[in-house]
Amino acid sequence: MIGSRGPGREQDERASPAASPAALRDPLLRHNVTVAGSGAETLVFAHGFGCDQNIWRLVAPAFSATHRLALFDWPGCGGAPAEAFDPVRHRTLQGYADDLLAICAALSLKDAVFIGHSVSAMIGLLAAIREPTRFSRLVLVTPSPCYLNAEGYAGGFEPEDIDELLELFENNRLGWPAALAPLVMGNPERPDLTAELEASFCRTDPEVARSFARVTFLSDNREDLPQVRTPSLILQCAQDVIAPETVGAYMHRAMRDSRLVTLSASGHCPQLSAPEDTIAAIRTYLGIRHG
C-alpha cells in the first residue's frame, strides 16, 4: 500500500475490527438480537448476569409456534461486542434499561411480553416504568430487587459475600483466561486464536463482567417496585440462594398487579433445571392452552 503512488480506493481489509461503528449504532446488531417464531405477540427474552441468550434454549422454542420471539445479549456477553459497553452509562441498571428500550424501539414493539431472568427482571421492570406501552406483561424469573440485607429486609447477602463473589468471577474464567490466554497462545497479534479459545457458552468480557456484577449485586430497586403499572408474574424457585422465597414474597407484596408462582425446582435457573415447569407456568400466565 505504501509503494503505490496516487490514490488507491480499495476497501481496507484492516479497517473492520470486532465491531464496526455501524454495528455499534444499530441496537439489533449491538445486542446480537435474534428474532424467531411467528405470532401477533412478541416475547422478549433477557438473560441474567454470567450468561447469554443461550440460557433460554430449552424454553424459548416452546413458544415459537404461537409468538414472535426476540432474544438478545447484554453488551460484552455472548455475541454482543464489548465495545457496546459504556463504562459510564452501564454503571446503573437504568443504563441497561436504555439498551432494552432501544431494542424495543428498533423492533417497534408495543404490548410485548418481557421475560427476564435474575438481574434482567429488574432491568425490564425499570424499562416498563419508563415506557409503559412497550410491555403488556412482565415475567420475572427468580428476581430480586436488592441482594444485600437491609433494615427489615432479608436480601440474603452481606457486603463481604458480594466482595468474595466479585473476586470469584475475577479469579475464574471471566478474569484469568482472558488475561492469560494471549500469553499462553504467545500470539497477541492474532486475537482470533485467543477468541476461539475463550468462545463458549456464557462468554463474558472480563471488564464488562466486573462492572455488570457490581451493578447487579449492589443495586437496590426496592423503591421502584410500587411504580410498576404493568401486570407481572414472579417465578421463583424453592431453595434459591440468590433470590430466596422471602424476596419473592416481598416483591409480590410491593407490586400491585403481580402474581407469584413458586416452582418446585431448586436453584436459580429454572429455565435450565426445570424447563417444562417454567414453560407451563409462563403458558398458564399468558393464557395459552397447554399443547
Partner 1 sequence: MAETRLPETTVENILEFYDEAPCGLLSTRPDGTIVAANDTLLAWTGRRRDQVLQRIRIQELLSIAGRVFWDKHLFPMLRMQGQMHEVALDLLEPEGRRIPVLLTGAAKLDADGAPVLFRFTILDATERRQFERDLLRARARAERSAESKAELVHMVGHDIRSALNGILGGAALLADTDLSDEQQEFLRFVQQAARTLLDLSDNVLRAGRIEAGGLVPEEREFDLRELVARSCDLLRPRAEEKGLSLTAETDPAIPDRLIGDPVKLGQVLGNLLGNAVKFTRVGSVRAEAWLAADLCDSVLLDFRVSDTGIGIAAERLHRIFEAFTQESYETGLEHGGAGLGLAICQRLLGLYGSRLEVESEPGRGTTFGFRLRLMKA
Interface contacts to partner 1, rule CB under 8 A: 1-3, 6-12, 14-15, 17, 21, 48-51, 54-55, 57, 118, 156-157, 161-162, 164-165, 167-169, 171-173, 176, 200-202, 240-242, 266-269, 272-273
Whose Cβ is closer to partner 1: residue 132's or residue 159's?
159
Find out whether 104 and 127 touch, Cβ atoms under 8 Å.
Answer: yes
Closest contact distance (angstroms) between CB of 136 and partner 1 is 29
Whose Cβ is closer to partner 1: residue 36's or residue 238's?
238
Closest contact distance (angstroms) between CB of 120 and partner 1 is 12
Whose Cβ is closer to partner 1: residue 11's or residue 108's?
11
Contacts of 130 (CB under 8 A, 6+ apart): 97, 101
Q: How far is Cα 270 from Cα 91, in angstroms, rounded to an integer?
A: 28
Distance of CA 31 to the CA centre of its chain: 10
Cell 409480590, residue located: 252
Catalytic, 240? Answer yes
Ramachandran assignment for 270, one of left (phi > 0), alpha (psi -120 to 50 degrees), beta (any other): alpha
Q: Which of 47, 90, 117, 268 is catalytic?
A: 268
Q: What is the DSSP code (8-state) at residue 139?
A: E
Question: Radius of gyration of the chain from Cα atoms?
Answer: 20
Closest contact distance (angstroms) between CB of 282 and partner 1 is 19
Catalytic, 90? Answer no
Whose Cβ is closer to partner 1: residue 204's or residue 221's?
204
Closest contact distance (angstroms) between CB of 52 and partner 1 is 9
Q: Which of 117, 224, 240, 258 is catalytic?
A: 240
**How far, in Å, are 91, 159, 174, 178 from residue 163 at the CA level?**
17, 6, 15, 21
Q: How far is Cα 63 from Cα 39, in angstroms, rounded to an integer?
A: 9
Q: Which of 90, 118, 211, 258 is catalytic?
A: 118
Alpha helices in 62-110 (DSSP H): 93-106
Contacts of 113 (CB under 8 A, 6+ apart): 41, 42, 43, 44, 67, 135, 136, 137, 138, 139, 286
Whose Cβ is closer to partner 1: residue 8's or residue 291's?
8
Closest contact distance (angstroms) between CB of 241 and partner 1 is 5
**Nearest one of 77, 133, 73 to 100, comparing CA atoms:** 73
Catalytic, 118? Answer yes
Closest contact distance (angstroms) between CB of 234 and partner 1 is 18
Whose Cβ is closer to partner 1: residue 38's or residue 171's?
171
- The beta strand positions in the chain, using DSSP E, are 34-37, 42-46, 68-72, 112-117, 135-141, 232-238, 258-266
Which residues have a catalytic role annotated?
118, 240, 268
